[in-house]
C-alpha cells in the first residue's frame, strides 16, 4: 500500500482491520482446497479500495455495523472473481507482484474459484434480504462483463475512439466503484439524493482510477506496480495514451504504432519506441489531465455532504488515485 | 433430441415452444457481440432438460405463467454458463456435436459470456423479487462450483472412492436438477412437503443422469452423443465405471488402468483396452444398475402427487434418462 494511501486511511484503521478479518471469515467453503486458494488470493492483498469505499460511505452516512462489512466483503469478492477471470483472459503471469492464480494452479481453478467468489457474494447478499442491493450489484456485474467483452472486441482495432475507450472503462471499472459507494449509502438508509451523490463520486473516482492505471501500465516500475509492464500493448489493447497519440502521429509513426499493436510478441526496443511516441504526442499528459478532470467531478459529487472525517478521507482518496505509483 | 424424449414431451409441446422463444428473448444484451455468441450457444440446442423440468413441475402443481418461463430460462442460463466455463476447463473441442464456444472464439469469450449468462440469470431472478428462489439457486451454483473443484482435485487420483464420486456428481449435476424441479414447485406456491418431493425427484433424476452420462462417455457413438468420446479418461477423471473396475482388476490390469489415467495422451488402442477391462469387471453394468436405483427413487419421490399428465411425463423422463443414447 502506498504511504499516501496508508496515511489517508489512518482515521479508519479500526474499520479496515475489521474488514480484513471479515474478508477471511466470510469466504468459508466446505472444500478445503477452495479455502486454500481463496486464502492465497485474499492474502495476496491488493488495496481493498472498493470495500473500503463501502465502509467509508456507510460510516459517513450513519454507522458501520456487521452487515456493512458483509456487503463490503461482497464487493471485494466480486472484484476478486473478475480478477481471477481476467487472469485467464489476459494470461497474466503476475498479479499484485505475485504469481497469478492461473500461473499457480491453472486456468481450471481460476475460472472455478472465480465462480465460487461470485456465488459466495450472492449468498451473502441474499442473506441480507435487501433486493435493492442485489439489483444494484447485479447491474454492476453485468456492466463489468459487457465492458470486458466490448474491450476484447475492440482489441487490435486501430479505429477505437476515445468514446469507445471511455465506454469500456466506465463499464469494466467505474461501475463497480460507483456500486461500492452506493451500497455504503443504501446500508445507512440515505435518501435517493445522497445515494446518487455517493454513486457519482464512485463513478468519477473509478474513471480516474482506470485512466491512471492505463498510464501506469506503460510508465510504472514493475516492482512498485506489481504487474507486468506493457501488458495492454502486448494484448493489443488500445488505451487512451495510445489512442491520443495515434491521432497526432505522422503516417510513418502511426505505422510503427499499428505494427506494435498487432504483433504477436513485443520486444523492449519496440515498447520503448511506442512509449517515446506517446510521450512526444502528449498521450500520457492528456490521459492524466482527463483523470484529474474526473477527480474534480468526484470531489464535486461530495458537495452535498457536510464536512467530516470521512469526507476528508474520500477527498484524499481522490487525490491518491491520480498520484499513486501502483 | 431422442425420439423417446420427443414423444414423452408431446403433451407439453406448446409450453416447450413458448420456453424456446423466451430463452432467446430474455437473454438480451446491449453489446451486439454478446447477443451473437449467446444466440450461437442457445441455437446449438441441448436437450433443455432442466428448464423443461421447471415448467412441468410448475404445471403439475398449478399453472404456468410468464414468470415460470422466466425462472426456467434462468435455470438454463445458469447451466449454459457452467458449460461455457467447463469448456474452458476441459479444453473441449466439441459441445453438442458443434465446435464449442472456446474452440470458436477462445477462452476469453467463453469465460466472459459465461459470466454474462450468470449475471443475466441473477437479474431476472432479482426482478422476480422472490428471495427464496434466489437463495435456492445461489446454494445450487455454489454446490456446482464446489463439486467441479473437488472433481479437479480428485483428477488422476486412483484412490478416488465411490463415495467421493457420488459427492462430486451430486454437487456438480444433481443439485441443479433438484433446484430446477423445486423452483417449479415454489413458483406454484406448493407446501414445503410437495416442494421437498419435487426436489427429491430432481436430485435422484440428476444422479441417474450423470451416472448414465459417465457410461456414455465410454460407450456412445460420437455422432449420436455429440461430445468427443473418452473425454473423462483423457482428463484423468475417475468416474464410477472405472472406479468399480479398478477395485476388481488384478495387479497387472490395475497398472494398465493407472497408466491410462495419468498418461498425457490416449491412443485408440489403450482406450479400447480400458473399455474392455471395464466391461470385463462389470463397471458399466454396475453403474447402469445404480442409475436405475436412483430412477426408482426418483419415481417414488412423486408418490405424494395424484395421477396427472405431467406426472406421467416426469415418470417417462426418468426412464428416458437411463435409456438415452446421448
pLDDT score, position A147: 94
Comparing alpha-carbon positions, the chain A residue that sits nearest to B89 is A108
Q: Tell me, yes or no, if B107 comes closer than 8 A to chain A by beta carbon.
A: yes
Q: Identify the band that residue A183 occupies on the pLDDT scale cut at 50, 70 and 90.
A: very high
pLDDT score, position A46: 85
pLDDT score, position A224: 57
pLDDT score, position B264: 80
Q: Identify the band that residue A223 occupies on the pLDDT scale cut at 50, 70 and 90.
A: low
Over 80: is that where the pLDDT of A204 sits? yes
Interface of B with A in 226-265 (CB under 8 A): none
Average pLDDT over residues B202-212: 98
pLDDT score, position A103: 66
**Nearest CA among A24, A107, A287, A219 for reference residue B102:** A107
Over 70: is that where the pLDDT of B174 sits? yes
Q: Identify the band that residue A86 occupies on the pLDDT scale cut at 50, 70 and 90.
A: confident
Over 60: is that where the pLDDT of A3 sits? no
Task: Tell me the per-residue pLDDT of A30-49, one tens digit each, with 9 for 90 and over.
Answer: 778 888 888 998 998 789 99
Over 80: is that where the pLDDT of B45 sits? no
- DSSP per-residue codes, A283-317: HHHHHHHHHHHHHHHHHHHTTTSPP-HHHHHHHHH
Comparing alpha-carbon positions, the chain A residue that sits nearest to B148 is A112
Cβ <8 Å between B152 and A108: yes
Buried b (16+ CB within 10 A) or exposed e, A292-307: bebbebbbebbeebee
Interface of B with A in 16-35 (CB under 8 A): 29-31, 33-34
The partner residues of B6 in beta bridges, in order of sequence, read: none
Task: Tell me the per-residue pLDDT of B132-168, one tens digit each, with 9 for 90 and over.
Answer: 999 999 999 999 999 999 998 898 899 999 999 999 9
Average pLDDT over residues B282-305: 98
User: Hey, CA dihedral for A174, A145, A78, A199, is it positive or negative?
Assistant: positive
pLDDT score, position A229: 78
Over 60: is that where the pLDDT of A89 sits? no
Q: Tell me, yes or no, if B38 comes closer than 8 A to chain A by beta carbon.
A: no
Looking at A185-189, A252-256, B20-24, B153-157, which range is the least confident one?
Answer: B153-157
pLDDT score, position B235: 86
Residue with cell 482388476: B249
Question: Radius of gyration of chain B from Cα atoms?
Answer: 20
Q: In chain A, which residues have their Cβ closer than 8 Å to the Cβ of B29?
A: 146
Q: In chain B, which residues have their Cβ closer than 8 Å to the Cβ of A150?
A: 31, 33
What CA–CA distance (Å, rounded) separates A275 from A270? 8
**Nearest CA among A62, A56, A69, A22 for reference residue A42:** A22
Higher pLDDT, A33 or A222: A33
Q: Tell me, yes or no, if B270 comes closer than 8 A to chain A by beta carbon.
A: no
CB A83 within 8 A of CB A71: no
Comparing alpha-carbon positions, the chain B residue that sits nearest to A107 is B89
**Nearest CA among A204, A213, A150, A196 for reference residue A175:** A204
φ, ψ of residue B95 to 5 degrees: the values are -140, 120
In this structure, how many other beta carbons lie within 10 angstroms of the beta carbon of residue A7?
12
Task: Tell me the per-residue pLDDT of B215-242, one tens digit each, with 9 for 90 and over.
Answer: 999 998 765 555 567 889 988 999 999 9
pLDDT score, position B94: 42
Comparing alpha-carbon positions, the chain B residue that sits nearest to A88 is B108
User: How many beta-carbon pairs below 8 A join chains A and B?
Assistant: 119
Average pLDDT over residues B281-294: 97
Over 70: is that where the pLDDT of A94 sits? no
What lies within 8 Å, CB to CB, of B137 at 6+ separation is: B74, B75, B78, B121, B125, B179, B183
pLDDT score, position B226: 55
Cβ <8 Å between B145 and A85: no
Q: What percent of chain A has pLDDT over 90?
A: 73
Tell me the pTM: 0.91
What CA–CA distance (Å, rounded) separates B263 from B266? 7
Residue with cell 517515446: A276
pLDDT score, position B277: 97
Q: Identify the band that residue A92 occupies on the pLDDT scale cut at 50, 70 and 90.
A: very low
CB A95 within 8 A of CB A40: no
Q: How close A123 comes to chain B (CA, Å)?
A: 6
Cβ <8 Å between A33 and B112: no
ipTM of the complex: 0.88
Looking at A112-126, A284-298, B90-104, which range is the least confident one?
Answer: B90-104
Q: Identify the band that residue A319 occupies on the pLDDT scale cut at 50, 70 and 90.
A: very high
pLDDT score, position A102: 67
Q: In chain A, which residues have their Cβ closer than 8 Å to the Cβ of B89?
A: 107-108, 111-112
Nearest CB to B116; choose among A109, A116, A142: A142
Over 60: is that where the pLDDT of A126 sits? yes
Q: Give domain B3-323's CATH superfamily.
A: Farnesyl Diphosphate Synthase (1.10.600.10)
Q: How close B312 comes to chain A (CA, Å)?
A: 35
What lies within 8 Å, CB to CB, of B178 at 6+ separation is: B140, B199, B200, B202, B203, B206
Amino acid at each position: 500500500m502506498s504511504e499516501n494511501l496508508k496515511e489517508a486511511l489512518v482515521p479508519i484503521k479500526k474499520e479496515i482491520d475489521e474488514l480484513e478479518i471479515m474478508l477471511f471469515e466470510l469466504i468459508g467453503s466446505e472444500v478445503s482446497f477452495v479455502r486454500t486458494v481463496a486464502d492465497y488470493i485474499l492474502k495476496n492483498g491488493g488495496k481493498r479500495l472498493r470495500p473500503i469505499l463501502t465502509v467509508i460511505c456507510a460510516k459517513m452516512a450513519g454507522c458501520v455495523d456487521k452487515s456493512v462489512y458483509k456487503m463490503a466483503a461482497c464487493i471485494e469478492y466480486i472484484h476478486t472473481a473478475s480478477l481471477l477471470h481476467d487472469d485467464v483472459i489476459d494470461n497474466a503471469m503476475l498479479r499484485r507482484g505475485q504469481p497469478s492464480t492461473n500461473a499457480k494452479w491453472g486456468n481450471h481453478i481460476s475460472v472455478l474459484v472465480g465462480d465460487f467468489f461470485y456465488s459466495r457474494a450472492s449468498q451473502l447478499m441474499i442473506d441480507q434480504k435487501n433486493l435493492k442491493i442485489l439489483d444494484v450489484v447485479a447491474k454492476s456485474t453485468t456492466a463489468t462483463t459487457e465492458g470486458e467483452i466490448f474491450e476484447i472486441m475492440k482489441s487490435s482495432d486501430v479505429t477505437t475512439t476515445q468514446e469507445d475507450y471511455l465506454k469500456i472503462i466506465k463499464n469494466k471499472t467505474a461501475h463497480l466503484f460507483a456500486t461500492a459507494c452506493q451500497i455504503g449509502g443504501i446500508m445507512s438508509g440515505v435518501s435517493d439524493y445522497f445515494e446518487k451523490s455517493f454513486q457519482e463520486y464512485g463513478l468519477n473516482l473509478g474513471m480516474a482510477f482506470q485512466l491512471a492505471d492505463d498510464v501506469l501500465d506503460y510508465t510504472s516500475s514493475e516492482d512498485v506496480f506489481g504487474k507486468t509492464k506493457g501488458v495492454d500493448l502486448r494484448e493489443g489493447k488500445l488505451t487512451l495514451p495510445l489512442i491520443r497519440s495515434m491521432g497526432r502521429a505522422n503516417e510513418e509513426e502511426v505505422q510503427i504504432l499499428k505494427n506494435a499493436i498487432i504483433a504477436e510478441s513485443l520486444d523492449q526496443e519496440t515498447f520503448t519506441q511506442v512509449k517515446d511516441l506517446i510521450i512526444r504526442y502528449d498521450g500520457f499528459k492528456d490521459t492524466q489531465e482527463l483523470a484529474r478532470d474526473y477527480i474534480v467531478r468526484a470531489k464535486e459529487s461530495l458537495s452535498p455532504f457536510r464536512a467530516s472525517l470521512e469526507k476528508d478521507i474520500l477527498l484524499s482518496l481522490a487525490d491518491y488515485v491520480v498520484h499513486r505509483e501502483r
